């Protein structure tokens, strides 16, 4: 018994796959792209140095920066991929801007916060504006 003839799209695919130099070039490019993406995961101190950030800021934004947690427990080690950090920072600088000063102070009343001793203390004014009394 003979096998049924292959349909034309399958034959075209077979011809393309038989082109070894093309297949090799595509495979090399895929590996290259994966290496660029993966890179080496770096600690927060190195990310802070490379991007001009504070180490505390990097830790505070670990989820935003797609940190990789290494280990278990309450304080696992964190590692960051520079390409992911760069993408996040680029998106932040393109998409968000600070509110203008006139809209930042939503209320003219003085905001107060209780201190640990229970006494009320005045908060600092926003952007140098004097609070209404």
Cβ 66 vs Cβ 78: under 8 Å:
no
pLDDT tier for residue 104 given thresholds of 50, 70 and 90: very low
| Average of per-residue pLDDT across 44-49 | 94
Question: What's the mean per-residue pLDDT of the chain?
Answer: 75
Structure token pair of residue 117? 């001793």
3-state SS, residue 53? coil
Residue 56 has pLDDT above 80, yes or no: yes
Structure token pair of residue 88? 């996040």
């Amino acid at each position: 018994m003979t096998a049924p003839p292959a349909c034309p799209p399958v034959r075209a695919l077979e011809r393309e796959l038989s082109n070894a130099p093309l297949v090799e070039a595509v495979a090399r490019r895929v590996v290259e792209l994966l290496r660029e993406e993966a890179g080496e995961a770096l600690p927060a101190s190195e990310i802070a140095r490379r991007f001009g950030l504070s180490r505390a800021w990097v830790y505070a934004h670990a989820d935003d920066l797609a940190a990789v947690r290494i280990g278990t427990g309450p304080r696992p080690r964190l590692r960051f991929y520079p390409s992911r950090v760069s993408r996040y920072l680029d998106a932040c600088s393109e998409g968000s801007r600070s509110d203008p000063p006139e809209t930042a102070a939503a209320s003219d009343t003085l905001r107060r916060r209780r201190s640990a001793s229970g006494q009320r203390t005045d908060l600092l004014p926003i952007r140098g504006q004097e609070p209404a009394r």
